[in-house]
Structure 1
Amino acid sequence: MNQHTPYKPEHKIRIVTAASLFDGHDASINIMRRIIQATGVEVIHLGHDRSVEEVVNTAIQEDVNAICLTSYQGGHNEYFKYMYDLLKEKGANHIKIFGGGGGVILPSEIKNLMDYGITRIYSPDDGREMGLQGMINDLVEKSDFAIGDSLDVSLKDVTTKSAKTIARIISSAENFPNVAKGILDDITTKNKNTTIPVLGITGTGGAGKSSLVDELVRRFLLDFPKKTVGIISVDPSKRKTGGALLGDRIRMNSINNDRVYMRSLATRQSNLALSKHVNEAIAVLKAAEYDLIILETSGIGQSDTEIIEHSDVSLYVMTPEFGAATQLEKIDMLDFADIVAINKFDKRGAQDALRDVKKQYMRNNNLWDTPQEQLPVFGTIASQFNDPGMNRLYKAVMDVLVDKVGAKLKSSFNTTGASSEKIFIIPPSRTRYLSEIAESNRSYDTLCAEQVDIAQKLYGIFQTICSVLNVSLTEVERLCLGELGLNEDEILNSPEVSGKNDKKEFIKLLIAEFNKVKKDLSPYNWETICGWSETVNRYKNPIYAFKVRDKEIKIETHTESLSRTQIPKVALPKYKAWGDILRWCLQENVPGQFPYTSGLYPFKRTGEDPARMFAGEGGPERTNKRFHYVSAGMPAKRLSTAFDSVTLYGNDPDYRPDIYGKIGNAGVSICCLDDAKKLYSGFNLADSMTSVSMTINGPAPMLLGFFMNAAIDQQCEIYIKENNLEKEVISKIEKLYKNKERPTYNGTLPEGNNGLGLMLLGVTGDQVLPKEIYQNIKKDTIAQVRGTVQADILKEDQAQNTCIFSTEFALRLMGDVQEYFIDNNIRNFYSVSISGYHIAEAGANPITQLALTLSNGFTYVEYYLSRGMDIDKFGPNLSFFFSNGIDPEYAVIGRVARRIWAKAMKEKYGANARAQMLKYHIQTSGRSLHAQEIDFNDIRTTLQALYAIYDNCNSLHTNAYDEAITTPTEESVRRAMAIQLIINKELGLAKNENPIQGAFIIEELTDLVEEAVLLEFDRITERGGVLGAMETMYQRSKIQEESLYYETLKHNGKFPIIGVNTFLSSKGSPTILPAEVIRATEEEKQSQIKTLENLHKANDTKEFLKQLQETAINNQNIFQALMEVCKVCSLGQITKALFEVGGQYRRNM
């Protein structure tokens, strides 16, 4: 790879960077925007999940040279072409468009897009040939042209709020002042009689000014439905390169509105918080007759007051962390600010900070007679949706604008006297929970070591007694060991001792010492030692009997090989010494016994291998067909569902090109209850041999509502058929659909689909059955369904980016789901799959994956406990999901997870046995699949699957070898399934269910990884627990650092990857292109949109959505309301309704 020095631009270049709509893969664009900025460019970064309209509007308002995008989630053809067309339509086709998407965008598609007019789409081969800096140099050089060197605009274009005109005049003023002088003179003349107010917002860097501006704008737009606002936001330029990161837009959710204009400016000078062209920009916005202009500065120091020269009203934003109260005397803005906001009011010491700032403001402004509560100093938490402090601040700002400037902005916004108060997910008193767990687990280990020493000492005494008696250990154990210790009478009256006084006295001393030492051994541990022989015998017997939920289960303990060898399903150590036995029982133990290191259940379930059938593509019918294909002949149906990106982000299908292109690509499109019914049709969802896993996070409660209702209606259908009610029910449905188009299953039913679930398409069971019967069916069904919904919102914020609601609201939804599960006795369905898989896929090493995942799990435990839930009731509803690579630590990831979880749940939280059991699904590593020598991928997958099966995973998904380049084909999926079937059915050692237990390296690795995880718990505690660490993006940064380390070693060859950087073929192991690419068809996309349109025509949803919002506002259980709303409303309708009451996710840089 060639090394490139950064290109030096001739002109001031501005570029918008973003990841495409419904695409959370932001790692690449973050790297790109850093290099672009370091190459001297002013970068307006929007982050992930951005629509074409948002990007184009930003590009025009910011008057950029180019747009740089990544698209890894499919739909790129429609996305890029729509962007080109929209720019052309808005007269901005001078803006260059650059893009990339790894191997997702095929060479033929790259050519097609570039022929259409896209400036350049970079491929993986371009990256290998040019390097990152080489690609950026090419991009920047192609974007290096003047902006604003000529003006063909009129004042009329300004007064009609033409974003393109406004932006171009500001650019011309920045870049070519002489060119702009004429129009600026006209603007100055026009503005002489203008009284448009300017609100100046300034403050220290990191005070949350952008979030606060966004919250003010959101309230302004609600308060004044017809008024407009213009925003000028300033960020500093880098002195060394001239580049700048203009990052305010990424934090703003309210500005993509036709009543808002925003322009980001770089200071283009050192040590100043404002651009020297701010006056011209304000003048242009005044001429455009925006009703309010907001000017936000970059972060300022203590002596900076530049903002007051450009604003009518000034708002100073600070945080409680200013140091000693004397520091306030040094802040000049406290002399001049009309209003002060102490943002991030959830920080420690906020109330003291409010008191001190009010006192200083009072001194500075001689307001000695003003009551403190009337001073314009407010505590705010801008990051918290509908924060009371923000409401009061907004009202105060508007009142000052009216009183001081005479602005026609009399607010009718309702506020209460309430102060900002953080809605704590984890109570402040519990922020040390992870270190408490680490301390508790280490205490357990210390106690174990002490007890093991005592047991070993007892064994030594016991051995001595046996030697003196000259009898076998086993015989004496049988005769003499009891609950209280050694039976002295039994021993002294034995033939070996009777009549031999010299032996008697010695034996008495030994017995006394034994019983003295034994007092320090816990009764449980003594019982464990005494019962060891019985334990060994139970596993030697041909049949092992145990109980699960009061049901006795009998299992054969051995299998027979072709050589007629009896292979034990569970092998036990041959230990004799009590210390060894006790250590093994306390830290390892047999499967099914605490601490569950070797497995959760005494034996694996017969007739149900841990294989999961993964599918998701096109419409529900196509994925239904794939489910029936992959599960054919399997006694257990374990269906894992992948959803398309439109569904993952809680949206409905639409003809809009940037949405249309993603419908049914890289997952199945599900937008309503009928889609769910078709998706799982032919599978009895209430059958104990059927389980469904749904890989969905942000909108998980809605998809869960669709699933539960689909399951209920299946059982209603069974009831209808069993009671011969078909004619009556069909008659009712026909009346309901008179003059309406009823939904249908498109196409013929696949082999194995008996049509179950399709009778009630378009209706629900409560519409055709008596209420009492329906409620009984519902109650029984939801208690029987088996499966998992991922719903892990903490992991999404840390790694995968499919958050859609504010974090607090998303966690509340998770809690409401769990509460509903408890109230309705839903014990077989997991309310969350706490996922390390996506953390690993984002780049984390196995220890970090495990530590972050378990820390997230314990955070949910603490949150649910804070809501008053019983740990014994919610604990069993928690499950986990890990990735399995080839690193050595992956060999023990399940063992360590089970052990840490069990110890903490038992010792720290006092949970029962079911809640102590960590159940996990594992998937072979997607990151380890390579587009070079793809046939080698199956070898890696086989080794990873072997790790997982030997480690007693609860369920397993093996990736198809061609997933690195395309959606898996039926052939590759069958091969992937065969990998684990061959291990389970053919591999002899896999007939044993604890094959790695007892290996020295496995025990050593287990201890090393366990301690590494506990150390990570302590590091997270130092940052305020999981949520505190998320605020500083600790987890995300750690993941990215580890990803970079791996990529560096892969690139320089120090980490060998066969067929990628070593052992290359004679052709150099080039990237493989797929023979076929599986994408959703036009018919499938249009069918999904038609389904949606028919649903909206068939149902009046306003009252349902209103009731849902009222449920949220009144702090009632939202999921209970969703169970009804999901019957008639579409996914997008529900998402939008909840945005209004719960807040939208705010992206981070």
Structure 2
Amino acid sequence: MEQISPYKPKHKVRIVTAASLFDGHDAAINIMRRIIQATGVEVIHLGHDRSVEEVVNTAIQEDANAIAMTSYQGGHNEYFKYMYDLLQEKGAGHIKIFGGGGGVILPEEIKELMDYGITRIYSPDDGREMGLQGMINDLVEKSDYESPSLILPKGKEIKQSVKDKDVNTIARLISFAENKHDEFETLFSPLGKSKGAVPVLGITGTGGAGKSSLVDELVRRFLIDFPEKTVGLISVDPSKRKTGGALLGDRIRMNAINSPRVYMRSLATRQSNLALSKYVNEAVEVLKAAEYDLIILETSGIGQSDTEILEHSDVSLYVMTPEFGAATQLEKIDMLDFADLVAINKFDKRGALDALRDVKKQYMRNHNLWHADPDTMPVFGTIASQFNDPGMNTLYKAIMDKVAEKTEADLKSTFEISKEMSEKIFVIPPSRTRYLSEIAENNRAYDKTADAQVEVAQKLYGIFKTICSVGNVTLSAVERSFIGKQGLDQDEILRVALNDKNSVSSSAVENKEFLKLLIAEFDRVKLNLDPYNWEIITGWNDKVNRYKDPIYSFKVRDKEIKIETHTKSLSHSDIPKVALPKYQAWGDILRWCLQENVPGEFPYTSGLYPFKRTGEDPTRMFAGEGGPERTNRRFHYVSLGMPAKRLSTAFDSVTLYGNDPDYRPDIYGKIGNAGVSICCLDDAKKLYSGFNLADAMTSVSMTINGPAPMLLGFFMNAAIDQQCEIYIKENGLEDEVEQKIKAIYKDKERPKYNAEIPEGNDGLGLMLLGVTGDQVLPKDVYEAIKAKTIAQVRGTVQADILKEDQAQNTCIFSTEFALRLMGDVQEYFIENNVRNFYSVSISGYHIAEAGANPISQLAFTLANGFTYVEYYLSRGMDINKFGPNLSFFFSNGIDPEYAVIGRVARKIWAKALKHKYGANPRAQMLKYHIQTSGRSLHAQEIDFNDIRTTLQALYAIYDNCNSLHTNAYDEAITTPTEESVRRAMAIQLIINKELGLAKNENPIQGSFIIEELTDLVEEAVLAEFDRITERGGVLGAMETMYQRSKIQEESLYYETLKHNGEFPIIGVNTFLSSKGSPTVQPAEVIRATEEEKENQIKTLQNLHKATDTTELLKDLQHKAINNQNIFEALMDVCKVCSLGQITSALFEVGGQYRRNM
């Protein structure tokens, strides 16, 4: 393919890039912004999950030429139109809008949006025809225009317009200073020098010191401290000398700046080797003229000798990290001579206390403060990334005191601080950061010991065979009598050898002494064999016979279960459910038992339970679209006639990000699209109505992460109220309860199920809509029902926050707070005997969907799992109590490693849990769900997708997965239809019910390639554990974005091979149809209806009218601040509060997630 040269802009082009609201798909926009920057553009990158208002405000404040967005989560029509309308409304209609969303945005929608005024929406076909650089050239060329002249608000002169903080005017003036300096002088001269004392805080420091996060935290505190004051930010980043482009990325780290009281402008240096733009002074003067109460000027990363910031600031802050090298390096840092304050950020790094001491002493030397107390030096340890960090509080107060001291500004701070030093709230204690390498060492030691034991067993078998040969005794005769728990019985051997009618006695007599020597050697060698392993060898024949017997019995939770061991084929062959190897040699038997073993026995390589459940296939019934009523209908459709109801719930992006439905267009368009809209308890009741959630044959899986504790609270309360309803009916209390509900809703509209009740739904769960069981039943009755119900419900909530940060981006809270919420849920489960519900589904699926290969998917997922183990242990939880509540979730592609992903996971987990953590057998069992690969679904030749899905399902079933979801063939282009979902389920049913080999439950055991792959993948995973340890464990690696970078590299590798055809994909890059296998357009697109969206908003509004939740939410915040169990409080809060209310309340005490580049 011919390489396309980048377009060369004629003007200084500035473009804002982001992914749309509630959309975590940031891989595409990251690639685009890199190419845009390399094409010579100044890129202001906002990252994922950005509202229209945030993007538009940014574009206006930054005086951008264009906005470039990706939208992969639906709602694009409303999003882009709202953006266009808002730009017009705010007097910035000249800013061009570009977008893309793969196949999510349909051709007719592209036309509709471009007709509306969107400059261009790029389609997948555009990408194929133009190439990435070609698309970016088109985008940049259309954005390469001279910004329009300054247009003042009606009836205002420039001076008044600036004073009124008109953002358009301020932004255009700064651009004139950069691009048309003469015109700027003319325009600005009437304003004159600002008379008031507007203080400038200059912040500088080394690159990577965390200046942006620190600035954001200072701004957050300033806005709280001074509710009426305003702040202006100027942030400088370097320009690329080669292209002239620049990445202006400070905004991505900031959460506090989206306020009408904050103005921020990013400047590129437009010259190399300097930390400031030469137009900084003009930008500062403009903000002073606008009478902002405080101006913060942040430089790009500087070297040791750079002090340029001092010329532009009244108070200066130098930001560094503890990792500056030897103490003598401090003598070279010029800013330590001049800075008013010094922040040692990232104070959780090793050696931070020593660094604090050294910097204080150097500051004293530089300022000739020889006799001062080091503790009085203005040097502060901070952890800006940590919410409400005590060190940041102290630094903020010191800065404001210094500002008040050095300027005439009316900025006397009343911010309350504690005198505590910054101290990292460790998720993993520092002494445990090697946990992954310790697990790798543990597992390798197990394998080494196993190999040594196998050698001993094989040697013993050789001696044993020699004894048989010398004694001239048949194997069966000898085994019958002298192999026992203690070893060999010499007298019995000799008696059998001399008396067995099959032996030649003269030979035996002659070799009697030799036999004694062999027996002595056997005893000596046997001293090296673990007694447990001798039991394995001596018990082997009994084990084989148990599986040959017609009935096999075993116990699960003290309940005896009897299973038939064989099935009959149509040819009347007896097909064993579990087939055992026909090994004779003890070494082979021992190796197989130590590394493979039968299903249900350590190390669980072939499966967790002796036999699969009958009557409950591992089929997951997946649904999620529109409102709760439509998804409830789909659940009943897919489960009709099935003995087990295994419901799997997908939520819309509004819910995934912890928000409530709203009429605001960028939210409204996403309600009920690509998932079900759930924002309160009544929604959950409607969603699962007609399914008894406490029934042993019902289980519910919820694919939700950031707001998982709240959704879990809705689910648990829905289940409790169902059982209250059953109690009410059983005790004839319907009339009494109805009167109580009528009294509650005397002057209010009562909630209802907004659709016809579907077939199969008996209405269970709908009686108590709008109320909870504790409002209509006595307290003791309700509490008894509650305790029994939460101990019975079966299911899984995904809630895997580490994977979200690494791959999927639906984080909403700060990482530490999100992990605390996970720990609180697990603690609640232990205290309330919740044994059948998984508190987390540690997920590799989304890691794989983001592009990771199977080995990285498995390694990162298991590493995350062990991180949760270490965190829960550090909180004092018992591994045998929380271990059974952990579950896993993997993707299955067609790569060879996917054939063994489950068995390797089970093996690594079991070895570590047993030998490293001392867990009991139930905690050693790794339970996992498999979903066939969404990434392998292609929008070309979509009928071929079912073939891929069938092969992936076969991998999963042969590998004994605990549950399975098969994707519908049309998911590559639309929300699956009822027909495609039925076909997807049929794939599993045909394998489980019709495929003969699947009647056997360990069909891949004994295969040479499977054993080889198992060893290869296991060692590759342990090697990845060591690499993660080198980066400080999972959380340390996340700080440097190790996992995310590796996932992106592997994704790019796959896409490159797919694009150039080296990796053949049938119907995509080879074996094309006569028409060239074009992208298939969906015959129907399933989207939420206007009626469904209206119903959701109306439900929410009625909920908000029904109860004043102010005190309840304050109590929740109080419990969070005082380190009480938040989930226990949520169980009550979720009864009356909406999802968005709870999220907002927790943001204030736990902090928002901070995006990364």
Query: Which residue in 1 is equivalent to 2:169?
Result: 165
Q: What is the identity, as a one-letter code, of the residue corresponding to 1:904?
A: A
Query: Which residue in 2 is equivalent to 1:426?
Result: 428
8 Å Cα contact 2:205-2:318 kept in structure 1: yes
Match of 2:390 among 388, 399, 413: 388
The CA distance in 2 between the partners of 1:9 and 1:465, in whole Å, is 89
Matches within 5 A, 1:867-882: 867-882=875-890
Q: What is the identity, as a one-letter code, of the residue corresponding to 2:494?
A: L
Q: What is the identity, as a one-letter code, of the residue corresponding to 1:600?
A: L
Structure 1 position 416, deviation (Å): 1.1
8 Å Cα contact 2:471-2:497 kept in structure 1: no
8 Å Cα contact 1:435-1:1018 kept in structure 2: yes
Q: Which runs of 5+ in 1 are unaligned?
A: none
The CA distance in 2 between the partners of 1:742 and 1:323, in whole Å, is 67
8 Å Cα contact 1:42-1:246 kept in structure 2: yes
Count residues in correspondence: 1147
Moved over 6 A (4+): none
Q: What is the identity, as a one-letter code, of the residue corresponding to 1:337?
A: A
Query: Which residue in 2 is equivalent to 1:54?
Result: 54
Cα distance change on mapping 1:1067 and 1:495 into 2, 3 Å: closer
Q: What is the identity, as a one-letter code, of the residue corresponding to 1:661?
A: G
Query: Which residue in 1 is equivalent to 2:470?
Result: 468
Query: Which residue in 2 is equivalent to 1:273?
Result: 275
8 Å Cα contact 1:842-1:1039 kept in structure 2: yes
Match of 1:296 among 287, 295, 298: 298
Structure 1 position 476, deviation (Å): 1.1
Structure 1 position 1109, deviation (Å): 0.3
Specify the SS of the correspondent of 2:635: helix
8 Å Cα contact 1:830-1:877 kept in structure 2: yes
The CA distance in 1 between the partners of 2:1065 and 2:397, in whole Å, is 61
What whole-Å deviation, never above 9, does each CA across 1:856-906 have from its counterpart, x for those lacking one? Answer: 000000000000000000000000000000000000000100000000000
- RMSD of the alignment, in Å? 0.9
8 Å Cα contact 1:623-1:679 kept in structure 2: yes
What whole-Å deviation, never above 9, does each CA across 1:555-577 have from its counterpart, x for those lacking one? Answer: 00000000000000000000000
* Greater displacement, 901-910 / 471-480: 471-480
Query: Which residue in 2 is equivalent to 1:287?
Result: 289
* Greater displacement, 456-465 / 391-400: 456-465
The CA distance in 1 between the partners of 2:787 and 2:959, in whole Å, is 36
Structure 1 position 465, deviation (Å): 1.0
Structure 1 position 469, deviation (Å): 2.3
Does residue 1089 of structure 1 match 2:1097?
Answer: yes
What whole-Å deviation, never above 9, does each CA across 1:1096-1115 have from its counterpart, x for those lacking one? Answer: 01111111101100110000
Cα distance change on mapping 1:920 and 1:567 into 2, 3 Å: same
Match of 1:175 among 166, 175, 179: 179
8 Å Cα contact 1:184-1:280 kept in structure 2: no
Matches within 5 A, 1:560-575: 560-575=568-583
Q: What is the identity, as a one-letter code, of the residue corresponding to 1:396?
A: A
What whole-Å deviation, never above 9, does each CA across 1:593-628 have from its counterpart, x for those lacking one? Answer: 000000000000000000000000000000000000
8 Å Cα contact 2:267-2:277 kept in structure 1: yes
Specify the SS of the correspondent of 2:275: coil
What whole-Å deviation, never above 9, does each CA across 1:491-536 have from its counterpart, x for those lacking one? Answer: 1223626886422211111111111111111111000000000000
The CA distance in 2 between the partners of 1:957 and 1:918, in whole Å, is 18
* Greater displacement, 2-11 / 1138-1147: 2-11
8 Å Cα contact 1:643-1:696 kept in structure 2: yes
The CA distance in 1 between the partners of 2:173 and 2:1038, in whole Å, is 41
Match of 2:550 among 542, 545, 550: 542
The CA distance in 2 between the partners of 1:662 and 1:370, in whole Å, is 61
Does residue 1030 of structure 1 match 2:1038?
Answer: yes
Structure 1 position 1134, deviation (Å): 0.2
What whole-Å deviation, never above 9, does each CA across 1:766-825 have from its counterpart, x for those lacking one? Answer: 000111110110000000000000000000000000000000000000000000000001
The CA distance in 2 between the partners of 1:155 and 1:173, in whole Å, is 16
8 Å Cα contact 1:149-1:179 kept in structure 2: no
Query: Which residue in 2 is equivalent to 1:938?
Result: 946
Structure 1 position 482, deviation (Å): 1.1
Match of 1:993 among 986, 1001, 1009: 1001
8 Å Cα contact 1:984-1:990 kept in structure 2: yes
Matches within 5 A, 1:605-1004: 605-1004=613-1012
Query: Which residue in 2 is equivalent to 1:106?
Result: 106
8 Å Cα contact 1:150-1:179 kept in structure 2: no
* Greater displacement, 56-65 / 485-494: 485-494
The CA distance in 2 between the partners of 1:503 and 1:270, in whole Å, is 92
Query: Which residue in 1 is equivalent to 2:418?
Result: 416
Identity of aligned residues (%): 84
Structure 1 position 374, deviation (Å): 1.1
The CA distance in 2 between the partners of 1:270 and 1:953, in whole Å, is 57
Specify the SS of the correspondent of 1:98: strand
Match of 1:257 among 259, 273, 277: 259
Match of 2:1062 among 1054, 1067, 1073: 1054
Structure 1 position 148, deviation (Å): 6.0
The CA distance in 2 between the partners of 1:451 and 1:689, in whole Å, is 44
Query: Which residue in 1 is equivalent to 2:361?
Result: 359
Structure 1 position 404, deviation (Å): 1.0
Q: What is the identity, as a one-letter code, of the residue corresponding to 1:130?
A: M
Structure 1 position 151, deviation (Å): 6.2
8 Å Cα contact 2:473-2:497 kept in structure 1: no
Give the TM-score taking structure 2 as reference length.
0.99
8 Å Cα contact 2:927-2:962 kept in structure 1: yes
Query: Which residue in 1 is equivalent to 2:1133?
Result: 1125
Query: Which residue in 1 is equivalent to 2:307?
Result: 305
8 Å Cα contact 2:193-2:285 kept in structure 1: no
Query: Which residue in 2 is equivalent to 1:34?
Result: 34
Q: What is the identity, as a one-letter code, of the residue corresponding to 1:347?
A: K
8 Å Cα contact 2:7-2:141 kept in structure 1: yes
The CA distance in 1 between the partners of 2:406 and 2:102, in whole Å, is 55
Q: What is the identity, as a one-letter code, of the residue corresponding to 2:383?
A: I
8 Å Cα contact 1:320-1:349 kept in structure 2: yes
The CA distance in 2 between the partners of 1:577 and 1:300, in whole Å, is 69
Specify the SS of the correspondent of 1:368: coil
8 Å Cα contact 1:2-1:131 kept in structure 2: no
Q: What is the identity, as a one-letter code, of the residue corresponding to 1:662?
A: K
The CA distance in 2 between the partners of 1:319 and 1:18, in whole Å, is 30
What whole-Å deviation, never above 9, does each CA across 1:249-292 have from its counterpart, x for those lacking one? Answer: 00000000000000000000111100010011000000100000
Query: Which residue in 1 is equivalent to 2:502?
Result: none
The CA distance in 1 between the partners of 2:454 and 2:148, in whole Å, is 80
Specify the SS of the correspondent of 1:298: coil
The CA distance in 2 between the partners of 1:551 and 1:523, in whole Å, is 29
Q: What is the identity, as a one-letter code, of the residue corresponding to 1:404?
A: K
Q: What is the identity, as a one-letter code, of the residue corresponding to 2:960?
A: N
Q: Which runs of 5+ in 2 are unaligned?
A: 500-504
Structure 1 position 190, deviation (Å): 4.4
The CA distance in 2 between the partners of 1:283 and 1:126, in whole Å, is 45
What whole-Å deviation, never above 9, does each CA across 1:429-473 have from its counterpart, x for those lacking one? Answer: 000000000000000000000000000000011111111222222
Structure 1 position 147, deviation (Å): 2.2
What whole-Å deviation, never above 9, does each CA across 1:1105-1139 have from its counterpart, x for those lacking one? Answer: 01100110000100000000000000000000000
The CA distance in 1 between the partners of 2:151 and 2:955, in whole Å, is 67
Specify the SS of the correspondent of 1:222: helix
Query: Which residue in 2 is equivalent to 1:478?
Result: 480
Specify the SS of the correspondent of 2:49: strand
The CA distance in 1 between the partners of 2:324 and 2:151, in whole Å, is 46
The CA distance in 1 between the partners of 2:477 and 2:946, in whole Å, is 54
8 Å Cα contact 1:648-1:699 kept in structure 2: yes
Q: What is the identity, as a one-letter code, of the residue corresponding to 2:127?
A: G
Query: Which residue in 2 is equivalent to 1:329?
Result: 331
Q: What is the identity, as a one-letter code, of the residue corresponding to 1:489?
A: D
Query: Which residue in 2 is equivalent to 1:590?
Result: 598
Query: Which residue in 1 is equivalent to 2:208?
Result: 206
Structure 1 position 2, deviation (Å): 5.1
Match of 1:1103 among 1102, 1105, 1111: 1111
8 Å Cα contact 1:149-1:175 kept in structure 2: no
